[in-house]
Amino acid sequence: MAATTKGGDFLIKESNAAQVFISEEFNEEQQMMLQMCRDFLNTEILPHLDRIDAQEDGLMQKLLDKAGELGLLSVSLPEAYGGFGKDFNTSLLITEELGKGHSFAVALSAHTGIGTLPILYFGTEAQKQKYIPKLGSGELKASYCLTEPGSGSDALSAKTKAVLSADGKHYSINGQKMWITNAGFADVFVVFAQIDGDKFTGFIVDKGTPGLSLGNEEHKMGIKGSSTRQVFFSDCEVPVENILGEIGKGHLIAFNILNIGRIKLAAAALGASKRVNTLAIQYAKERQQFKMPIANFGAIQHKLAEMAVRIYATESSLYRAGMAIHHAEELLKAAGKTEAEALLGAAQDFAIECAILKVAGSETLDYVSDEGVQIYGGYGFSADYPMDRSYRDSRINRIFEGTNEINRMLVLDMYMKKAMKGEIDLFSAAMAVQKELMGIPEFGEEDQGFLAAEKKVLQNLKKAAIMTAGAAAQKFQQKLSQEQEILMNLADMTINIYMAESALLRTEKLASLKGETAVALQIDLAKTYLNDAVDRVNTSGKNAIVAMAEGDELKMMLMGLKRFTKATPYNTKEARRRIASSLIAADQYMF
Ligand SMILES: Cc1cc2nc3c(=O)[nH]c(=O)nc-3n(C[C@H](O)[C@H](O)[C@H](O)COP(=O)(O)OP(=O)(O)OC[C@H]3O[C@@H](n4cnc5c(N)ncnc54)[C@H](O)[C@@H]3O)c2cc1C
């Protein structure tokens, strides 16, 4: 399958269903790996969540060791360093399944992601040989130290300093890092510090290095089993061989690793969302009120189904983006790039999609967990029932790996940068939409193909977003970054479009594989998401337009928005009832 897309171009181009990957295409080997993760979760993690959250001494390390023995820490590591060399979507699939594991999932993700990947992608050969096989087996456990008390979102303003010794053999690091996941038991700390005050640089610091010390465990709202501590550096001497990447290029490590971290966070959030949906379905069937299971009530069915709708759209988007990254990676390898350069380059090209997924995945999980609590009623508020933990553990996802505000702004920032560089022809697309608005609407023959009306609606939503983004870029130019409210609106339009399109494409591809009648429920899921996305795009568009246009321009843009967000309403009440009935019959989320 050839890669035909470039990151971000979904907004200005039509995508082809045949070219997207859908989760129904995972092969037998991938399904077997999934089953292994499931068995591991069901035996080693889920029965012990209370012990994990109590931070029982040594338990998390033992669980990571077991995960290492099963190969779960080295799925995507290259075979040359003892890994299994699996492709990107396989690693997302494993992350999704293990994402059901609450605090364990966070410890595992921090270890395999932000802890291990900087060394794999930016380390010297000697560093890779020394650390990667042991990180892959779990013998060593990793953490990532970027954030400081005074620098979170503004990570590059970190104050931790590194000064070269007179003999040129080591750097002396002084400073303080905040909120470091796995710090309590980590053997390896990937640390960022400023050399000569302004050369932001990565270092590998081993546990036990004199001058490295830890704060107490933070008392957190959720993910209580995950170790989170401050890390202090006081004249901490690190050999020059432990510099990670180039001096002054630490930002490349920090930002590139975050692209991958963001899409992986969406995968973990997806797994957690599915688990909450399943628990809520099972509880709603058991819980009797007014002499019947609460699952019989329309209001509860609406919630169960809406959870599934959002999960379906998130999953469709995740594996579509994952495969696009994989294809881009293969192309870069074919062009002579190393494995590391290829994956980083591919993730960089699809950084818009990674940011979209970070926001969408975390917000789907927050929605699903919140409604999970509601379905459990008073028992949802009880610490003796599972929703309490799901609700609390969900919340962090909107904060770390770049807050959702930062990620929303990044979506637009990256679009504008790609447009300025000519990588995405946003401005021609905006001009074409403007021209269309001035002309007489075409009332041509309606396409009768499968989901044709929905595809038309989606095409128009893209025009609404392009029109609004184009006008914002023209009006504010270099000052657009100061119009954050408008950027949030534009990001929301873009996110809704990517999710709706992914759900439609998946359904279309599935229909081509199984026949239209076999995917009636998936059609309901995709149409319900799209129906509501139209209203959300309209509201965001309206808010952006009234904030930047006046007089005739305002009138014309509002007219354009109305035209581009017109859709025949879908009977989502009946669709949700059908979806809920099938979830209830299956006793779990099963799409
Ligand atoms: C449990 C936990 C685990 C973590 N693990 C790690 C780890 O392993 N390693 C690590 O390095 N870090 C880690 N972090 C840190 C995390 O990445 C930061 O908390 C996050 O990046 C936000 O930074 P901050 O907390 O300083 O918030 P701030 O940056 O102060 O943000 C506060 C609010 O202001 C908003 N804001 C900030 N800047 C802007 C802006 N320019 N425009 C608009 N709004 C803005 C934010 O969106 C947010 O709503 C962890 C945090 C927690 C809580």
pLDDT digits (tens, 9 = 90+) for 521-562: 999 999 999 999 999 999 999 999 999 999 999 999 999 999
* Residue 444 confidence (pLDDT): 65
Q: Are 140 and 167 in contact (CB under 8 A)?
A: no
> Beta strand pairing status for 188-195 and 161-164?
parallel
Question: For residue 177, which atom of ligand 1 is closest to its CA?
Answer: 11
Phi, psi dihedral angles at 13 (to 5 degrees): -125, 165
Q: Are 489 and 544 in contact (CB under 8 A)?
A: yes
Question: For residue 114, which atom of ligand 1 is closest to its CA?
Answer: 8
Q: Are 325 and 542 in contact (CB under 8 A)?
A: no
Token pair 């075979």 in the structure block, residue: 79
Q: Are 145 and 180 in contact (CB under 8 A)?
A: yes
CA distance 88 to 130: 24
Left if phi > 0, otherwise alpha if psi is -120 to 50, otherwise beta: which for 190? beta
For ligand 1, mutation pick of 218, 400, 481, 483 (most atoms within 8 Å of CB)? 400
Q: Are 345 and 332 in contact (CB under 8 A)?
A: yes
In the structure encoding, which two tokens stand for residue 495, read together? 């996110």
Interval between CA 312 and ligand 1 midpoint (Å): 28
Interval between CA 444 and ligand 1 midpoint (Å): 50
Q: Are 168 and 240 in contact (CB under 8 A)?
A: yes
Interval between CA 179 and ligand 1 midpoint (Å): 9
Exposure string over 102-132, b if 16+ CB within 10 A, otherwise e: bbbbbbbbbbbbbbbbbbbbbbeeebbebbb
Atom 48 of ligand 1, residue of closest alpha carbon: 403
CA distance 242 to 202: 9
Which of 151, 132, 333 lies closest to 244, judged by CA? Answer: 132
Q: What does 364-389 look like in DSSP terms, one character per residue?
A: HHHHHHHHHHHHHGGGGG-TTSHHHH
For residue range 337-387, what is the model confidence (pLDDT) as tens digits? 998 899 999 999 999 999 999 999 999 999 999 999 999 999 999 999 999
CA distance 3 to 326: 9
Question: For residue 406, which atom of ligand 1 is closest to its CA?
Answer: 47
For ligand 1, mutation pick of 403, 407, 488 (most atoms within 8 Å of CB)? 403
Using CB distances shorter than 6 Å, the residues near ligand 1 are: 110, 144-147, 152-153, 179-181, 220, 223, 228, 396, 399-400, 403, 405-406, 484
* Residue 352 confidence (pLDDT): 98
Atom 44 of ligand 1, residue of closest alpha carbon: 405
Atom 24 of ligand 1, residue of closest alpha carbon: 152
Q: How far apart are the first and last CA of the chain?
A: 24
Interval between CA 191 and ligand 1 midpoint (Å): 17
Interval between CA 255 and ligand 1 midpoint (Å): 14
Distance of CA 361 to the CA centre of its chain: 5
Interval between CA 410 and ligand 1 midpoint (Å): 15
Contact residues for 442 (Cβ-Cβ < 8 A; gap 6+): none
Contact residues for 274 (Cβ-Cβ < 8 A; gap 6+): 100, 311, 589
Question: For residue 181, which atom of ligand 1 is closest to its CA?
Answer: 8
CA distance 111 to 141: 6
For ligand 1, mutation pick of 108, 146, 147 (most atoms within 8 Å of CB)? 147
Widest distance between CA atoms in the chain: 81
DSSP 152: S
Atom 14 of ligand 1, residue of closest alpha carbon: 179
* Residue 447 confidence (pLDDT): 73
Q: Are 131 and 119 in contact (CB under 8 A)?
A: yes
Atom 52 of ligand 1, residue of closest alpha carbon: 179
Question: For residue 405, which atom of ligand 1 is closest to its CA?
Answer: 47
Q: Are 165 and 151 in contact (CB under 8 A)?
A: no
Atom 12 of ligand 1, residue of closest alpha carbon: 147
For ligand 1, mutation pick of 153, 220, 229, 482 (most atoms within 8 Å of CB)? 153
Question: For residue 223, which atom of ligand 1 is closest to its CA?
Answer: 1
Q: Out of 3.40.50.970, 3.30.420.40, 1.20.140.10, 3.40.1310.30, select the CATH number for domain 250-406.
A: 1.20.140.10
Atom 25 of ligand 1, residue of closest alpha carbon: 152
Structure pTM?
A: 0.97
Which of 350, 357, 461 lies closest to 408, judged by CA? Answer: 357
Interval between CA 149 and ligand 1 midpoint (Å): 10
Homologous superfamily of domain range 411-586? Butyryl-CoA Dehydrogenase, subunit A, domain 3 (1.20.140.10)
Which of 486, 456, 482 lies closest to 469, judged by CA? Answer: 486
CA distance 496 to 313: 10
Which run of H or of E encompasses 237?
strand 228-239
* Delimiting residues of CATH 1.20.140.10 domain(s) in the chain: 250-406, 411-586
Interval between CA 529 and ligand 1 midpoint (Å): 30
Interval between CA 395 and ligand 1 midpoint (Å): 13
Instruction: State which residues of the chain have pLDDT below 70.
Output: 1-4, 443-445
* Residue 229 confidence (pLDDT): 98
Q: How many CA atoms lie within 13 A of 433 on its CB side?
A: 29
Interval between CA 373 and ligand 1 midpoint (Å): 26
Per DSSP (E only), the strands in 240-307 are 243-244, 288-289, 292-293
* Residue 3 confidence (pLDDT): 45
Atom 29 of ligand 1, residue of closest alpha carbon: 153
Atom 26 of ligand 1, residue of closest alpha carbon: 152
Cα angle 433-438-440, degrees, rounded to a multiple of 5? 105
Q: Are 492 and 408 in contact (CB under 8 A)?
A: yes
Domain at 144-244: CATH architecture: Beta Barrel (2.40)
Atom 53 of ligand 1, residue of closest alpha carbon: 179
Question: For residue 401, which atom of ligand 1 is closest to its CA?
Answer: 17
Question: For residue 403, which atom of ligand 1 is closest to its CA?
Answer: 47
The CATH class for the domain spanning 23-141 reads mainly alpha
Exposure string over 237-257, b if 16+ CB within 10 A, otherwise e: bbeeebbbbebeebebbbbbb
Contact residues for 512 (Cβ-Cβ < 8 A; gap 6+): 17, 18
Which run of H or of E encompasses 232?
strand 228-239
- Annotated catalytic residues are 401
Interval between CA 369 and ligand 1 midpoint (Å): 22
Atom 7 of ligand 1, residue of closest alpha carbon: 180
CA distance 351 to 8: 8
* Residue 4 confidence (pLDDT): 54
Residue ranges in 386-519 assigned as alpha helix (H):
386-394, 404-420, 426-438, 452-476, 484-514
3-state helix, strand, coil in the chain (%, to 5): 65, 10, 25
- Torsion angle of alpha carbons 426, 432, 434, 437, nearest 10°? -140
